[in-house]
């Protein structure tokens, strides 16, 4: 039997919405006077899963997990419950099962316009790891800051480089962030100065949410890695380039990254992304055995970044690229992360690293787009930017293009406030 392709909710069927029946991403929302609970995005509506659960319309295995301020309890139930819930929601929203469609009182209770809801951080994140998996990005940065003829360090083509980030400062889209302060080493000065960041940047990334824990001491193979992934989010790993350049030797980023990481409020499940798997990128040299993969682990996700100065009438698109360009896949990232015996927990966030393509308009950071500020980008209002200014908003979006529909992530947006 062919799965239903349309919903009785008209806004889910226009071909442009990020949230058609084929998507059904999970998030946490609230409306005035009510506590946060779990919902699913469908067209321009949010389906209140706690209300459906109370009505007895969702799988018994998930009972009681949706009247919660995070997705963690539901995610921890495992892949079979995720699949059963998705199947049930598809039936209810397609009308194959009319229990919701034909119950006016339940519809009024369970369907909330997105415009009337506040969206919250969807997951309690125990740990956050950020990778560095775009060959183009790593090459561009290496050319600027190291040796133009040997941009990649010898280990880059052998292991998915990453570092443990700061989970406490991961925030949901729409949360403004203050420009960070820190130490900056100016050219020709003997000692650093304490200053507000002068080279504030964004990083276009995707992130995946761990859906299945692993035990301490037990590695996860590339073949098993997808079973440990619940879904994906858009991610902006804001970066203070001048603070980073001074502090990152020898142990990597610290204050330059820890001041804020923004994620989109909707978690798109790996089941929804399954039709958009693509062949893995060619890798040379061939990775060591534990990093080799037989399955397709790349995903075709079109991505875009816009920048809107304060007071500007509209944002200006400054980057278009695609997630399938990443050299190291998510499966390889998780396999490398755990090969030492490091365990992962439900809700852990794994960032891809900046996603850059091969053309100048596909670079996923201001650092690359402007060649470290030397060649500013011109925006639609005529203003120019080498790096981000106070009042600037950065908006990222992404989607997978199906036949007549899109599986999208919505947006992740954030505004820069002055340093404190």
Asked if residue 81 and residue 132 are part of one domain, the reply reads no
DSSP 267: B
- For the chain, how big is the Rg over CA atoms in Å? 22
Confidence class for position 149, pLDDT limits 50, 70, 90? confident
Catalytic residues: 137
User: Which residues, listed in sequence order, are joined to residue 41 by a DSSP beta bridge?
Assistant: 46
pLDDT at 1 > cutoff 50: no
Asked if residue 71 and residue 34 are part of one domain, the reply reads yes
Is 53 inside any structural domain? yes
The runs of H, that is alpha helices, within 255-414 are: 255-258, 270-273, 330-339, 366-369
Is 5 inside any structural domain? no
DSSP 300: -
Is 3 inside any structural domain? no
Confidence class for position 3, pLDDT limits 50, 70, 90? low
Q: How far apart are the C-alpha atoms of 388 and 242, rounded to whole Å?
A: 13
**pLDDT tens profile 185-200:** 999 999 999 999 999 9
Q: Report cis status (omega within 30 of 0) of the bond before 284.
A: no
Of 89, 91, 81, 86, the C-alpha closest to 60 is 81
Asked if residue 105 and residue 134 are part of one domain, the reply reads no
Section 176-192 average pLDDT: 97
Q: How far apart are the C-alpha atoms of 148 and 159, rounded to whole Å?
A: 21
Q: Give the SS3 label for residue 167.
A: helix
Section 25-48 average pLDDT: 97
Region for 412 from its dihedrals, namely left if φ exceeds 0, alpha if ψ lies in -120 to 50, beta otherwise: beta
Asked if residue 148 and residue 56 are part of one domain, the reply reads no
Section 233-262 average pLDDT: 96
Confidence class for position 101, pLDDT limits 50, 70, 90? very high
Is 2 inside any structural domain? no
Asked if residue 200 and residue 261 are part of one domain, the reply reads yes
Asked if residue 173 and residue 305 are part of one domain, the reply reads yes
Is 248 inside any structural domain? yes
Q: How far apart are the C-alpha atoms of 76 and 211, rounded to whole Å?
A: 6
Asked if residue 114 and residue 163 are part of one domain, the reply reads no
Q: What is the pLDDT of residue 148?
A: 86
DSSP 61: G
Asked if residue 135 and residue 97 are part of one domain, the reply reads no
Q: How far apart are the C-alpha atoms of 139 and 130, rounded to whole Å?
A: 17
Q: What is the pLDDT of residue 43?
A: 98
Asked if residue 345 and residue 400 are part of one domain, the reply reads yes
CATH of the domain at 95: 2.30.30.230
Distance (Å) of CA 1 to CA 5, 244, 272 = 12, 54, 18
Q: How far apart are the C-alpha atoms of 13 and 43, rounded to whole Å?
A: 7
Of 40, 49, 85, the C-alpha closest to 67 is 49
Confidence class for position 4, pLDDT limits 50, 70, 90? low
Percentage of the chain beyond pLDDT 90 is 97
Name the residue range of residue 220's domain: 128-417
CATH of the domain at 169: 3.90.850.10
Last residue of a domain, one of 60, 94, 120: 120
Asked if residue 192 and residue 71 are part of one domain, the reply reads no
Least confident piece of the model among 141-155, 272-286, 360-374: 141-155
Helix, strand, coil percent values for the chain (each to nearest 5): 25, 25, 50
Asked if residue 328 and residue 184 are part of one domain, the reply reads yes
Is 374 inside any structural domain? yes
| Beta-carbon contacts of residue 188 (< 8 Å; ≥ 6 apart) | none
Last residue of a domain, one of 120, 138, 163: 120
Q: What are phi and psi of 56, to 5 degrees?
A: 75, 25
Is 1 inside any structural domain? no
Last residue of a domain, one of 73, 102, 120: 120
Number of domain units in the chain: 2
Q: What is the pLDDT of residue 150?
A: 87
For residue 95 the two structure tokens come to 């009308």
For residue 398 the two structure tokens come to 């992404």
- pTM greater than 0.75: yes
For residue 374 the two structure tokens come to 């030397």
For residue 280 the two structure tokens come to 């893995």
Contact (CB, 8 A) for 351 and 128: yes
Q: What is the pLDDT of residue 145?
A: 82
Q: Give the SS3 label for residue 107.
A: helix
pLDDT at 96 > cutoff 50: yes
Asked if residue 171 and residue 303 are part of one domain, the reply reads yes
Q: How far apart are the C-alpha atoms of 281 and 10, rounded to whole Å?
A: 38
Of 202, 337, 182, the C-alpha closest to 260 is 202
Is 407 inside any structural domain? yes
Q: Write out the H or E segment, with its range, that includes residue 190.
A: none
């Amino acid at each position: 039997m062919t799965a239903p392709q349309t919903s009785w909710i008209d806004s889910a069927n226009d071909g442009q919405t990020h949230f058609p029946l084929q998507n059904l991403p999970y998030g946490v929302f609230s409306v005035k006077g009510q506590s946060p609970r779990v919902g699913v995005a469908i067209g321009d509506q949010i389906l209140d899963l706690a209300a459906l659960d109370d009505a007895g319309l969702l799988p018994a295995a998930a009972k009681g997990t949706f009247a919660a301020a995070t997705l963690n309890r539901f995610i921890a139930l495992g892949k079979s419950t995720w699949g059963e819930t998705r199947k049930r929601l598809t039936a209810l929203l397609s009308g194959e099962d009319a229990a919701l469609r034909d119950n006016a009182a339940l519809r009024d209770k369970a369907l909330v316009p997105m415009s009337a809801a506040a969206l919250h951080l969807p997951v309690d994140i125990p740990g956050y790891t950020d990778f560095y998996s775009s060959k183009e990005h790593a090459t561009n940065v290496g050319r600027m800051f190291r040796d133009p003829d040997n941009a990649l360090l010898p280990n880059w083509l052998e292991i998915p480089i990453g570092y443990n980030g700061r989970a406490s400062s991961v925030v949901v889209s729409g949360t403004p962030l203050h420009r960070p302060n820190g130490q900056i080493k100016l050219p020709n000065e003997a000692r650093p100065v304490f200053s507000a960041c002068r080279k504030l940047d964004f990083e276009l990334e995707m992130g995946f949410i761990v859906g299945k824990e692993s035990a301490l001491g037990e590695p996860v193979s590339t073949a098993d890695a997808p079973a440990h992934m619940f879904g994906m989010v858009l991610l902006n790993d804001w970066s203070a380039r001048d603070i980073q350049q001074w502090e990152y030797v020898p142990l990597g980023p610290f204050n330059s990254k820890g001041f804020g990481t923004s994620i989109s409020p909707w978690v798109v499940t790996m089941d929804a992304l399954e039709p958009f798997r693509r062949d893995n990128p060619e890798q040379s040299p061939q990775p060591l055995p534990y990093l080799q993969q037989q399955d397709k682990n790349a995903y075709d996700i079109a991505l875009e970044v816009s920048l809107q100065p304060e007071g500007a009438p509209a944002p200006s698109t400054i980057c278009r690229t695609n997630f399938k360009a990443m050299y190291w896949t998510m499966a390889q990232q998780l396999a490398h992360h755990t090969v030492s015996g490091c365990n992962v927990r439900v809700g852990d966030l794994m960032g891809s690293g900046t996603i850059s393509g091969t053309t100048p308009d596909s670079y996923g950071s201001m650092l690359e787009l402007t060649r470290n500020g030397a060649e500013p980008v011109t925006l639609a209002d005529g203003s120019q930017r080498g790096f981000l200014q106070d009042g600037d908003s950065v908006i990222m979006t992404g989607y997978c293009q199906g036949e007549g529909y899109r599986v999208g992530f919505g947006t992740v947006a954030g505004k820069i406030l002055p340093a404190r």
